[in-house]
Chain A
Amino acid sequence: MKKIVSLFLIVILFSSCKDDVECCVNPGGSVTLKFTHNWNGTPITEADFNQLKFTNANGDQLSIEKLRYVITNINLLDTKNRNLVDLGQNTGLSLTIPNQKADLINLKFRFGFKDEDNTDGIYQDLNTVNFNVPNMLGGGYHYMQFDGKFVAANNQEAGFNYHAIRAVNRTDPNNLVFKDTSFEVDLGEIEIINDTTIEIKMNVAEWFKNPNTWNLNELNTVLMPNFDAQILMNENGQSVFSLGEITQ
């Protein structure tokens, strides 16, 4: 009889332990990445487009007419992945990744494509929206198309096409020299407890500011074949993204 009682108590004890463990583990949940845009802290939406309401670090007054860019290899996903953010079309601004375990994560992604992922013509969704780079520039895809107008030194409005791609040196057209100008963005550690929304902020003004003060009178259009301009974009891009609000 004593043995039976002991066995019964042990079973109760173990059951009790199991319950205790379950009650204290965070369940995890979905993670939603929310892409927002600002100009030195002032939010930008599509409603702000086509107005000469921004002034860059060089003092150039400018408007935004198109802003779309691709991010790849978000480390919360196991497989190769990409997301085209298009602020003008209000698409790609939110990306939900389901079934994330409760964990301390280090959120990383890449702006643009690593060379090994930047194969010409292989992404049907990006082909459909004309995000390709011409073959004479090595093919593959844009990282970003950022178009607008600025007030030039002659006080006339002029267009700019701040298009980021893999840098290419075409000094010898038969022997193109490339430099991968995509870059990794590391947003640091975030604790996932349950359903979580993570804001990823792009300060658009940074593209013109840090560390290179961008003069739109000198660098405005035909920047895709401009190797040096692509390097400058890469350098300025490093400080463009930051971690915003986390809600869960």
Chain B
Amino acid sequence: MPLDGKKIRNYIFLFMFFLFLMNCASKEEEIYTPIAYNLKVPALFSEKLIGPLIPVNNPLTEEGVTLGKKLFFEKLLSRDNTQSCATCHSPKKAFTDQLQFSLGINNNLGTRNAMPLFNLAWNFSERFSWDGQDFSLENQAFTPITNPIEMDANWQEVTAKLQNHPTYPDLFLRAFGTAKIDSTLVVKAIAQFERTLISANSKFDKYLRDEATLTSAEKNGFTIFMEEEKGDCFHCHGSENNPLWTDNEFHNNGLDRNFTDLGLGAITGDPRDNGKFKTPSIRNLAFTAPYMHDGRFATLEEVIEFYSTGLQPSSTIDPLMKQINRGGVNLSTQEKADLKAFLLTLSDFDFVNSPAFQE
């Protein structure tokens, strides 16, 4: 039956209306709401510590963390596409590189030992790096990408590379609601991933949960750690009541009589801060040698010997460093061995082997 003109007009109208609705529907699909990431806070942390610090302008999302992880291992972030964050912060090494100083893309050596990365969401002072130069985890992520002795890139080129990548624009769209990539979104994503790096399953954690027992040497080592007249480590490095095992503050622990590296003092400009460096966590020491801000000690034995007999006086040495005129508290050979045994109970093999953190 032939269609008359009126019917044809009606069909055309209906067809146009259908197209209009389809258009609206596809626009709705483009607005993607990322899924909130459920950060699994270990029971010991929620029991003992105040909650993790998550910035209101960068909440954790599934898509943001996934993107951050991909970016953490992304070599496009360096000028010549040879280095990623993971080059110096390897998951298997508790996110260090086990080198005294890291090697940049131009074969330049840095001047500081790569810091391990874990439990960063509990750094309430928000000062990151050995000298506290970076305020907030997001700002910290900016630093190595443009540093000439590290990744030596510029943001214009990095964001262009990511923008032209086949998958990144869509990943940014899903994580942040825009496919236009900029440096702020890159560091936000990396910071989201870094906040998920939680280490809380060492032998000592299991001991606190009644899931493991310590040897007598390990127990004695913990006693030495806690005794004020022995190690007196707890005032800075925490205790069973602070599972971070750091105060996240800055101290001069007596490494040098004269400073070649001013540490925090170079950042604040305050001579009272000269020679002060961030207290590192003593978790995962088995994976993070060499030690101190300049990686001067290759072994834990050297570290313990330094605290026992090697303290150097200076104007800013922390008053918690005792018996400096004797170099320290002079632990016995057995005490030093036991202290080392205890420190190694804080090694978290599940953390360094976690598939969630590998490339």
Contact residues of A with B, CB < 8 Å? 49-50, 65-66, 120-121, 124-125, 127-130, 132, 134-136, 145, 147-149, 156-161, 221-222, 224-225
Contacts and interface: CB of A to CB of B under 8 A. Distances in A.
A129 B247 contact: yes
Interface of B: 47-50, 122, 124, 223, 226-229, 234-236, 238-242, 244, 247, 272, 313, 315-322, 324-325
Given A50-B316, A127-B48, A127-B242, A135 B322 contact: no
Nearest to B237: A130
Contacts of B236: 130
Contacts of A129: 247
A8 B25 CA distance: 70
Contacts of B244: 128
Contacts of A158: 324-325
A156 B314 CA distance: 11
Contacts of A120: 241
A128 B124 contact: yes
Contacts of A136: 223, 226-227
Nearest to B238: A130
27 contacts: A50-B272, A50-B316, A65-B318, A65-B319, A66-B319, A121-B241, A127-B48, A127-B242, A128-B50, A130-B236, A130-B247, A132-B241, A132-B242, A134-B226, A134-B228, A134-B239, A135-B226, A145-B235, A148-B319, A149-B319, A157-B313, A159-B322, A161-B228, A221-B322, A222-B228, A222-B229, A225-B228
A229 to B, nearest CB: 12
A65 B228 CA distance: 18
Given A158-B324, A159-B322, A222-B229, A130 B49 contact: no
A134 B240 CA distance: 9
Q: Which of B49, B228, B244, B321 has the most CB of A within 10 A?
A: B228
A121 B316 contact: no
A161 B319 contact: yes
A225 B223 CA distance: 14
Contacts of B313: 157
Contacts of B317: 159
A222 to B, nearest CB: 5
A130 B228 contact: no
Contact of B319 (A128, A135, A159): A159
A221 B241 CA distance: 23
A161 B272 contact: no
A161 B241 contact: no
A143 B122 CA distance: 24
Nearest to A142: B235
B242 A159 contact: no
Q: Which of A130, A135, A145, A156 has the most CB of B within 10 A?
A: A130
Given A121-B48, A160-B319, A161-B228, 8 more contacts: A127-B49, A128-B50, A128-B124, A130-B236, A130-B247, A148-B319, A159-B317, A161-B320
A64 to B, nearest CB: 10
